[in-house]
Amino acid sequence: MRRRLTLLVAAVGVLVMVAFLVPLAVLVRTVAADRATAQATADAQRLVTVTGTADPRTIGSTVDQFAADTGREVTVFLADGAALGARAPRTPAVALAARGQSLTVESATGREVVVAVQGRPEGTAVIRTVVTRAELGAGVTHAWLVLSLLGALLVLIGLIVADRLAATLVRPVSALSAVSHRLANAELDARVEPAGPPELREVAGALNHLAERIQVLLREEREQVADLSHRLRTPLTALRLEAESLRDPDDAARLTAAVDGLERAVTGVIRRARWRSTAAAGGSCDAAAVVAERVTFWSVLAEDTGRTVTVDLASGPLPVRLGGDELAAAVDALLGNVFAHTPDGTPFTVRLVAESDRVTLTVADAGPGLPPGPVRRGASRAGSTGLGLDIAERAARAGGGRLELTGAPGGGAEVVLTLSARVLNPPLSLG
Protein backbone atom coordinates (compact mmCIF):
# COMPACT_ATOMS: atom_id res chain seq x y z
CA MET A 1 0.00 0.00 0.00
CA ARG A 2 2.79 2.39 0.92
CA ARG A 3 4.60 1.66 -2.33
CA ARG A 4 1.47 2.10 -4.40
CA LEU A 5 0.66 5.44 -2.79
CA THR A 6 4.21 6.62 -3.43
CA LEU A 7 4.05 5.49 -7.08
CA LEU A 8 0.70 7.22 -7.50
CA VAL A 9 2.09 10.51 -6.16
CA ALA A 10 5.18 10.09 -8.34
CA ALA A 11 3.06 9.58 -11.45
CA VAL A 12 0.87 12.58 -10.65
CA GLY A 13 3.93 14.70 -9.84
CA VAL A 14 5.65 13.78 -13.11
CA LEU A 15 2.51 14.55 -15.12
CA VAL A 16 2.13 17.93 -13.40
CA MET A 17 5.79 18.75 -13.95
CA VAL A 18 5.56 17.79 -17.63
CA ALA A 19 2.40 19.85 -18.10
CA PHE A 20 4.11 22.80 -16.44
CA LEU A 21 7.69 22.54 -17.69
CA VAL A 22 7.08 21.80 -21.38
CA PRO A 23 5.16 25.04 -22.07
CA LEU A 24 7.64 26.91 -19.88
CA ALA A 25 10.57 25.46 -21.85
CA VAL A 26 8.94 26.53 -25.13
CA LEU A 27 8.35 29.98 -23.68
CA VAL A 28 11.98 30.25 -22.58
CA ARG A 29 13.17 29.40 -26.08
CA THR A 30 10.80 31.93 -27.63
CA VAL A 31 11.84 34.67 -25.22
CA ALA A 32 15.52 33.98 -25.85
CA ALA A 33 15.02 34.18 -29.64
CA ASP A 34 12.99 37.38 -29.36
CA ARG A 35 15.60 38.91 -27.07
CA ALA A 36 18.41 38.12 -29.52
CA THR A 37 16.35 39.49 -32.41
CA ALA A 38 15.55 42.69 -30.52
CA GLN A 39 19.23 43.17 -29.67
CA ALA A 40 20.21 42.72 -33.33
CA THR A 41 17.54 45.18 -34.45
CA ALA A 42 18.73 47.75 -31.89
CA ASP A 43 22.32 47.30 -33.07
CA ALA A 44 21.27 47.84 -36.68
CA GLN A 45 19.28 50.94 -35.83
CA ARG A 46 22.37 52.51 -34.24
CA LEU A 47 23.73 52.82 -37.80
CA VAL A 48 20.62 54.45 -39.25
CA THR A 49 21.79 58.06 -38.71
CA VAL A 50 25.22 57.49 -40.22
CA THR A 51 23.79 55.49 -43.13
CA GLY A 52 21.23 58.19 -43.94
CA THR A 53 23.58 61.21 -43.90
CA ALA A 54 27.24 60.23 -44.37
CA ASP A 55 29.19 59.44 -47.48
CA PRO A 56 29.92 55.81 -48.45
CA ARG A 57 33.51 55.92 -47.16
CA THR A 58 32.41 57.13 -43.74
CA ILE A 59 29.62 54.57 -43.66
CA GLY A 60 32.08 51.76 -44.47
CA SER A 61 34.53 52.75 -41.76
CA THR A 62 31.71 53.16 -39.23
CA VAL A 63 30.31 49.72 -40.07
CA ASP A 64 33.76 48.12 -39.75
CA GLN A 65 34.32 49.79 -36.38
CA PHE A 66 30.84 48.72 -35.22
CA ALA A 67 31.56 45.10 -36.24
CA ALA A 68 34.84 45.17 -34.37
CA ASP A 69 33.20 46.53 -31.21
CA THR A 70 30.09 44.32 -31.11
CA GLY A 71 31.28 41.22 -32.98
CA ARG A 72 28.18 41.37 -35.14
CA GLU A 73 28.54 41.33 -38.94
CA VAL A 74 26.53 44.12 -40.58
CA THR A 75 26.13 44.95 -44.26
CA VAL A 76 24.84 48.26 -45.70
CA PHE A 77 23.33 48.08 -49.18
CA LEU A 78 23.17 51.46 -50.99
CA ALA A 79 20.64 52.24 -53.69
CA ASP A 80 23.37 52.44 -56.35
CA GLY A 81 24.21 48.78 -55.75
CA ALA A 82 27.24 49.27 -53.48
CA ALA A 83 27.58 46.98 -50.44
CA LEU A 84 29.55 48.21 -47.42
CA GLY A 85 30.72 46.10 -44.44
CA ALA A 86 30.55 42.31 -44.32
CA ARG A 87 30.09 40.50 -47.57
CA ALA A 88 26.54 39.22 -47.96
CA PRO A 89 24.22 38.43 -50.87
CA ARG A 90 21.37 40.76 -51.77
CA THR A 91 18.52 38.58 -50.50
CA PRO A 92 14.81 38.97 -51.27
CA ALA A 93 14.42 40.53 -47.81
CA VAL A 94 16.95 43.21 -48.77
CA ALA A 95 15.10 43.86 -52.04
CA LEU A 96 11.85 44.21 -50.14
CA ALA A 97 13.40 46.55 -47.59
CA ALA A 98 14.75 48.70 -50.45
CA ARG A 99 11.14 49.66 -51.09
CA GLY A 100 11.01 51.28 -47.65
CA GLN A 101 9.84 48.45 -45.35
CA SER A 102 11.94 47.13 -42.42
CA LEU A 103 11.34 43.49 -41.55
CA THR A 104 12.67 40.31 -39.94
CA VAL A 105 12.54 36.98 -41.76
CA GLU A 106 13.62 33.42 -41.00
CA SER A 107 16.52 32.02 -42.98
CA ALA A 108 18.57 28.86 -43.12
CA THR A 109 21.25 30.38 -40.89
CA GLY A 110 18.95 32.05 -38.40
CA ARG A 111 16.97 35.30 -38.56
CA GLU A 112 17.68 38.02 -41.08
CA VAL A 113 17.06 41.57 -39.82
CA VAL A 114 16.84 44.32 -42.47
CA VAL A 115 16.26 48.02 -41.70
CA ALA A 116 15.25 50.47 -44.45
CA VAL A 117 17.03 53.87 -44.30
CA GLN A 118 15.46 56.67 -46.31
CA GLY A 119 16.75 60.18 -47.02
CA ARG A 120 19.75 59.49 -49.19
CA PRO A 121 19.87 61.27 -52.53
CA GLU A 122 20.34 58.10 -54.57
CA GLY A 123 17.48 56.25 -52.85
CA THR A 124 16.69 53.96 -49.92
CA ALA A 125 19.60 52.22 -48.23
CA VAL A 126 19.25 48.89 -46.35
CA ILE A 127 21.08 47.81 -43.20
CA ARG A 128 21.27 44.00 -42.94
CA THR A 129 22.42 41.75 -40.10
CA VAL A 130 21.86 38.09 -39.27
CA VAL A 131 20.99 36.52 -35.86
CA THR A 132 22.53 33.04 -35.91
CA ARG A 133 20.95 29.89 -34.48
CA ALA A 134 23.46 29.96 -31.66
CA GLU A 135 22.40 33.49 -30.72
CA LEU A 136 18.72 32.56 -30.91
CA GLY A 137 19.28 29.65 -28.51
CA ALA A 138 21.80 31.34 -26.21
CA GLY A 139 21.05 30.41 -22.57
CA VAL A 140 18.17 28.10 -23.51
CA THR A 141 20.03 24.86 -22.71
CA HIS A 142 21.09 26.17 -19.31
CA ALA A 143 17.55 27.34 -18.56
CA TRP A 144 16.14 23.97 -19.59
CA LEU A 145 18.66 22.19 -17.34
CA VAL A 146 17.69 24.39 -14.41
CA LEU A 147 14.02 23.73 -15.07
CA SER A 148 14.62 19.98 -15.30
CA LEU A 149 16.54 19.93 -12.02
CA LEU A 150 13.84 22.02 -10.40
CA GLY A 151 11.15 19.64 -11.65
CA ALA A 152 13.11 16.59 -10.44
CA LEU A 153 13.63 18.26 -7.06
CA LEU A 154 9.92 19.04 -6.75
CA VAL A 155 9.01 15.44 -7.67
CA LEU A 156 11.54 14.13 -5.12
CA ILE A 157 10.12 16.37 -2.41
CA GLY A 158 6.65 15.19 -3.38
CA LEU A 159 7.79 11.55 -3.07
CA ILE A 160 9.28 12.18 0.37
CA VAL A 161 6.12 13.91 1.57
CA ALA A 162 3.96 11.17 0.03
CA ASP A 163 6.06 8.47 1.69
CA ARG A 164 5.67 10.16 5.07
CA LEU A 165 1.94 10.54 4.57
CA ALA A 166 1.67 6.93 3.39
CA ALA A 167 3.56 5.82 6.48
CA THR A 168 0.95 7.48 8.67
CA LEU A 169 -1.64 5.30 6.93
CA VAL A 170 0.35 2.09 6.64
CA ARG A 171 1.62 2.09 10.23
CA PRO A 172 -1.88 1.88 11.79
CA VAL A 173 -2.90 -0.73 9.21
CA SER A 174 0.18 -2.80 10.06
CA ALA A 175 -0.68 -2.51 13.74
CA LEU A 176 -4.21 -3.70 13.01
CA SER A 177 -2.85 -6.65 11.03
CA ALA A 178 -0.40 -7.59 13.81
CA VAL A 179 -3.10 -7.49 16.48
CA SER A 180 -5.49 -9.52 14.32
CA HIS A 181 -2.81 -12.20 13.89
CA ARG A 182 -2.20 -12.23 17.64
CA LEU A 183 -5.91 -12.66 18.23
CA ALA A 184 -5.94 -15.50 15.71
CA ASN A 185 -3.13 -17.13 17.74
CA ALA A 186 -5.35 -17.02 20.85
CA GLU A 187 -3.64 -13.97 22.39
CA LEU A 188 -6.96 -12.50 23.41
CA ASP A 189 -5.37 -9.78 25.53
CA ALA A 190 -3.87 -8.14 22.42
CA ARG A 191 -5.17 -4.64 21.77
CA VAL A 192 -4.40 -2.00 19.16
CA GLU A 193 -3.78 1.65 19.94
CA PRO A 194 -6.17 3.74 17.77
CA ALA A 195 -4.13 5.94 15.42
CA GLY A 196 -4.25 7.41 11.95
CA PRO A 197 -7.29 8.78 10.11
CA PRO A 198 -10.74 8.66 11.75
CA GLU A 199 -11.74 5.64 9.66
CA LEU A 200 -8.74 3.61 10.88
CA ARG A 201 -9.38 4.74 14.46
CA GLU A 202 -12.90 3.45 14.13
CA VAL A 203 -11.66 0.11 12.80
CA ALA A 204 -9.17 -0.13 15.69
CA GLY A 205 -11.94 0.53 18.20
CA ALA A 206 -14.13 -2.09 16.54
CA LEU A 207 -11.29 -4.65 16.66
CA ASN A 208 -10.67 -3.96 20.34
CA HIS A 209 -14.38 -4.29 21.04
CA LEU A 210 -14.45 -7.57 19.12
CA ALA A 211 -11.52 -8.92 21.16
CA GLU A 212 -13.24 -7.96 24.40
CA ARG A 213 -16.45 -9.57 23.23
CA ILE A 214 -14.60 -12.77 22.31
CA GLN A 215 -13.08 -12.87 25.78
CA VAL A 216 -16.50 -12.49 27.36
CA LEU A 217 -18.04 -15.20 25.17
CA LEU A 218 -15.17 -17.60 25.81
CA ARG A 219 -15.35 -17.00 29.52
CA GLU A 220 -19.10 -17.66 29.50
CA GLU A 221 -18.62 -20.77 27.38
CA ARG A 222 -15.93 -22.11 29.70
CA GLU A 223 -18.10 -21.56 32.72
CA GLN A 224 -21.02 -23.30 31.03
CA VAL A 225 -18.88 -26.26 29.98
CA ALA A 226 -17.36 -26.44 33.43
CA ASP A 227 -20.80 -26.39 35.02
CA LEU A 228 -21.97 -29.13 32.66
CA SER A 229 -18.84 -31.14 33.43
CA HIS A 230 -19.44 -30.85 37.16
CA ARG A 231 -22.94 -32.11 36.67
CA LEU A 232 -21.48 -35.22 35.04
CA ARG A 233 -19.77 -36.08 38.31
CA THR A 234 -22.96 -37.53 39.77
CA PRO A 235 -23.72 -40.08 37.02
CA LEU A 236 -20.00 -40.99 36.92
CA THR A 237 -20.09 -41.74 40.62
CA ALA A 238 -23.19 -43.86 40.09
CA LEU A 239 -21.47 -45.78 37.28
CA ARG A 240 -18.45 -46.40 39.47
CA LEU A 241 -20.66 -47.81 42.24
CA GLU A 242 -22.49 -50.01 39.74
CA ALA A 243 -19.19 -51.28 38.34
CA GLU A 244 -17.82 -52.08 41.77
CA SER A 245 -20.99 -54.00 42.61
CA LEU A 246 -20.57 -56.47 39.74
CA ARG A 247 -19.83 -60.02 40.83
CA ASP A 248 -17.43 -60.82 38.02
CA PRO A 249 -14.07 -59.26 39.00
CA ASP A 250 -12.91 -58.99 35.38
CA ASP A 251 -16.07 -57.14 34.30
CA ALA A 252 -15.86 -54.94 37.36
CA ALA A 253 -12.23 -54.07 36.66
CA ARG A 254 -12.91 -53.36 32.98
CA LEU A 255 -15.91 -51.09 33.69
CA THR A 256 -14.07 -49.38 36.52
CA ALA A 257 -11.15 -48.63 34.17
CA ALA A 258 -13.59 -47.23 31.60
CA VAL A 259 -15.19 -45.02 34.25
CA ASP A 260 -11.72 -43.89 35.33
CA GLY A 261 -10.91 -42.89 31.76
CA LEU A 262 -14.17 -41.01 31.39
CA GLU A 263 -13.59 -39.25 34.69
CA ARG A 264 -10.13 -38.19 33.55
CA ALA A 265 -11.60 -36.80 30.36
CA VAL A 266 -14.23 -34.87 32.30
CA THR A 267 -11.54 -33.51 34.61
CA GLY A 268 -9.54 -32.37 31.61
CA VAL A 269 -12.59 -30.63 30.15
CA ILE A 270 -13.11 -28.80 33.43
CA ARG A 271 -9.50 -27.67 33.51
CA ARG A 272 -9.48 -26.49 29.92
CA ALA A 273 -12.80 -24.74 30.39
CA ARG A 274 -11.62 -22.68 33.34
CA TRP A 275 -8.06 -21.97 32.32
CA ARG A 276 -5.94 -22.05 29.23
CA SER A 277 -4.57 -25.34 28.13
CA THR A 278 -1.63 -26.78 30.03
CA ALA A 279 0.52 -26.56 26.90
CA ALA A 280 -0.13 -22.83 26.52
CA ALA A 281 0.85 -22.34 30.15
CA GLY A 282 4.13 -24.20 29.60
CA GLY A 283 3.07 -27.64 30.93
CA SER A 284 4.87 -30.87 30.26
CA CYS A 285 4.68 -34.60 30.93
CA ASP A 286 6.60 -37.81 30.51
CA ALA A 287 5.47 -39.09 27.12
CA ALA A 288 6.84 -42.59 27.79
CA ALA A 289 4.80 -42.98 30.99
CA VAL A 290 1.60 -41.53 29.53
CA VAL A 291 1.72 -43.59 26.33
CA ALA A 292 2.60 -46.77 28.25
CA GLU A 293 -0.33 -46.25 30.64
CA ARG A 294 -2.82 -45.68 27.79
CA VAL A 295 -1.51 -48.61 25.75
CA THR A 296 -1.94 -50.86 28.79
CA PHE A 297 -5.51 -49.69 29.12
CA TRP A 298 -6.34 -50.34 25.44
CA SER A 299 -4.51 -53.68 25.42
CA VAL A 300 -7.31 -55.18 27.52
CA LEU A 301 -9.88 -54.27 24.87
CA ALA A 302 -7.51 -55.46 22.13
CA GLU A 303 -7.31 -58.86 23.79
CA ASP A 304 -11.09 -59.04 23.98
CA THR A 305 -11.44 -58.23 20.25
CA GLY A 306 -8.69 -60.60 19.13
CA ARG A 307 -6.20 -57.92 18.08
CA THR A 308 -2.46 -58.36 18.27
CA VAL A 309 -0.70 -55.33 19.72
CA THR A 310 2.95 -54.66 18.94
CA VAL A 311 4.40 -52.15 21.37
CA ASP A 312 7.78 -50.49 20.86
CA LEU A 313 8.21 -47.70 23.40
CA ALA A 314 11.45 -45.86 24.07
CA SER A 315 12.54 -45.86 27.67
CA GLY A 316 11.70 -42.77 29.68
CA PRO A 317 11.60 -40.24 30.92
CA LEU A 318 10.71 -38.45 27.66
CA PRO A 319 9.54 -34.94 28.65
CA VAL A 320 7.44 -33.16 26.03
CA ARG A 321 5.86 -29.73 25.90
CA LEU A 322 2.32 -30.99 26.41
CA GLY A 323 0.24 -31.73 29.46
CA GLY A 324 -0.41 -35.32 30.46
CA ASP A 325 -4.19 -35.04 30.09
CA GLU A 326 -3.85 -33.62 26.57
CA LEU A 327 -1.39 -36.32 25.49
CA ALA A 328 -3.56 -39.06 27.02
CA ALA A 329 -6.59 -37.71 25.17
CA ALA A 330 -4.63 -37.69 21.89
CA VAL A 331 -3.44 -41.27 22.41
CA ASP A 332 -6.98 -42.39 23.28
CA ALA A 333 -8.26 -40.70 20.12
CA LEU A 334 -5.71 -42.44 17.89
CA LEU A 335 -6.18 -45.87 19.45
CA GLY A 336 -9.94 -45.40 19.55
CA ASN A 337 -9.91 -44.81 15.79
CA VAL A 338 -8.16 -48.14 15.31
CA PHE A 339 -10.92 -49.97 17.19
CA ALA A 340 -13.68 -47.92 15.56
CA HIS A 341 -12.58 -48.16 11.91
CA THR A 342 -10.95 -51.59 11.63
CA PRO A 343 -12.61 -54.99 12.01
CA ASP A 344 -12.00 -57.16 15.05
CA GLY A 345 -8.79 -59.14 14.87
CA THR A 346 -6.90 -56.40 12.99
CA PRO A 347 -3.39 -56.05 14.46
CA PHE A 348 -1.89 -52.66 15.19
CA THR A 349 1.42 -51.23 16.31
CA VAL A 350 2.28 -48.47 18.76
CA ARG A 351 5.79 -47.09 18.52
CA LEU A 352 7.34 -44.24 20.53
CA VAL A 353 10.72 -42.92 19.36
CA ALA A 354 12.82 -40.22 21.01
CA GLU A 355 15.13 -37.96 18.98
CA SER A 356 17.28 -34.98 19.85
CA ASP A 357 14.57 -32.34 19.80
CA ARG A 358 11.32 -34.24 19.35
CA VAL A 359 9.35 -37.30 20.35
CA THR A 360 7.41 -39.24 17.71
CA LEU A 361 4.42 -41.46 18.40
CA THR A 362 3.32 -43.74 15.54
CA VAL A 363 0.09 -45.72 15.51
CA ALA A 364 -0.21 -48.09 12.53
CA ASP A 365 -2.79 -50.75 11.74
CA ALA A 366 -3.37 -53.35 9.05
CA GLY A 367 -6.94 -52.25 8.34
CA PRO A 368 -8.51 -50.76 5.20
CA GLY A 369 -6.36 -47.65 5.48
CA LEU A 370 -6.98 -43.92 5.73
CA PRO A 371 -6.31 -41.61 2.78
CA PRO A 372 -3.82 -38.85 3.64
CA GLY A 373 -4.92 -35.26 3.78
CA PRO A 374 -5.43 -32.30 6.09
CA VAL A 375 -7.19 -32.82 9.39
CA ARG A 376 -10.33 -30.71 9.63
CA ARG A 377 -12.50 -30.43 12.69
CA GLY A 378 -15.76 -32.31 12.23
CA ALA A 379 -14.68 -33.76 8.86
CA SER A 380 -14.54 -37.57 8.75
CA ARG A 381 -13.49 -39.97 6.04
CA ALA A 382 -15.15 -42.97 7.71
CA GLY A 383 -18.59 -41.80 8.71
CA SER A 384 -17.67 -40.73 12.28
CA THR A 385 -17.78 -37.29 13.88
CA GLY A 386 -14.25 -36.52 12.78
CA LEU A 387 -13.33 -35.09 16.19
CA GLY A 388 -10.85 -37.81 17.19
CA LEU A 389 -8.16 -36.79 14.74
CA ASP A 390 -8.94 -33.16 15.49
CA ILE A 391 -8.15 -33.76 19.17
CA ALA A 392 -4.83 -35.34 18.21
CA GLU A 393 -4.05 -32.59 15.73
CA ARG A 394 -4.72 -29.84 18.29
CA ALA A 395 -2.57 -31.67 20.83
CA ALA A 396 0.25 -31.85 18.27
CA ARG A 397 0.07 -28.12 17.57
CA ALA A 398 -0.09 -27.34 21.30
CA GLY A 399 3.00 -29.49 21.81
CA GLY A 400 4.95 -27.69 19.09
CA GLY A 401 4.66 -30.53 16.57
CA ARG A 402 2.36 -31.84 13.88
CA LEU A 403 0.08 -34.74 12.93
CA GLU A 404 0.60 -36.69 9.71
CA LEU A 405 -1.66 -39.31 8.12
CA THR A 406 -0.04 -41.79 5.74
CA GLY A 407 -0.44 -45.31 4.52
CA ALA A 408 1.37 -48.07 6.38
CA PRO A 409 4.14 -49.88 4.41
CA GLY A 410 2.29 -53.21 4.57
CA GLY A 411 -1.15 -51.70 3.99
CA GLY A 412 -3.49 -50.00 6.39
CA ALA A 413 -3.25 -46.60 8.04
CA GLU A 414 -0.36 -44.94 9.85
CA VAL A 415 -0.76 -41.85 12.03
CA VAL A 416 2.38 -40.03 13.18
CA LEU A 417 2.13 -37.60 16.10
CA THR A 418 5.26 -35.47 16.61
CA LEU A 419 5.85 -33.40 19.75
CA SER A 420 8.66 -31.04 20.73
CA ALA A 421 10.86 -32.39 23.50
CA ARG A 422 11.25 -30.30 26.62
CA VAL A 423 14.80 -29.87 27.85
CA LEU A 424 15.06 -30.55 31.57
CA ASN A 425 16.92 -28.03 33.67
CA PRO A 426 20.27 -29.44 34.84
CA PRO A 427 20.71 -29.86 38.58
CA LEU A 428 22.39 -27.03 40.41
CA SER A 429 25.95 -27.65 41.48
CA LEU A 430 27.01 -26.60 44.94
CA GLY A 431 30.66 -27.24 44.39
Residue 9 shares a structural domain with residue 95: yes
- Tell me, yes or no, whether 156 lies in a domain: no
The pLDDT of residue 226 is: 62
Cα–Cα dist 179/191, whole Å: 6
Q: Which residues have a Cβ under 8 Å from the Cβ of 416 and sit 6 or more positions away?
A: 360, 361, 362, 403, 404, 406
pLDDT at 384: 42
For residues 296 and 258, state if they share a domain: no
pLDDT of residue 425: 47
- The domain boundary residue, chosen from 125, 141, 157: 141
The 10s digit of each residue's pLDDT in 301-332 is 888 888 899 999 988 789 988 888 788 888 88
Given this model, what pLDDT does residue 77 score? 92
pLDDT tens-place string over residues 172-183: 888 888 888 888
pTM beyond cutoff 0.95: no
> Which is nearest to 152 in space by CA: 13, 5, 38, 31?
13
| pLDDT of 336 | 85
User: CATH code at 89?
Assistant: 3.30.450.20
Domain end point (choices 220, 253, 275): 275
Answer yes or no: do 326 and 410 share one domain: yes
Domain range for residue 64?
A: 2-141
Strand order in the sheet with 402-407: 309-313, 348-354, 358-365, 413-420, 402-407
Q: Are residues 255 and 370 in the same domain?
A: no
Q: Are residues 309 and 412 in the same domain?
A: yes
Same domain for 236 and 321, yes or no, is no
Domain count, the chain: 3
CB 273, CB 227: distance < 8 Å:
no
Q: What does the pLDDT read at residue 279?
A: 40
Same structural domain, 409 and 352 = yes
- The pLDDT assigned to 377 comes to 42
> Which residues does the chain have with pLDDT short of 50?
276-282, 374-386, 425-431
pLDDT for residue 382: 46
Query: Where among 85, 110, 141 does a domain terminate?
Result: 141
In this structure, are residues 392 and 330 in contact, taking their beta carbons and an 8 Å threshold?
Answer: yes
237/355 same-domain check? no
Regarding whether 268 and 288 lie in a shared domain, the answer is no
Q: Domain with 346 in it: what CATH number?
A: 3.30.565.10
As a three-state string, the secondary structure of 23-62 is HHHHHHHHHHHHHHHHHHHHHHHCCHHHHHHCCHHHHHHH
Indicate if 237 and 317 belong to the same structural domain: no
303 and 349 share one domain: yes
In the DSSP assignment, the letter for residue 197 is S
Say yes or no: 30 and 134 in one domain: yes
- Spatial contact of 293 and 395, defined as CB atoms under 8 Å apart: no
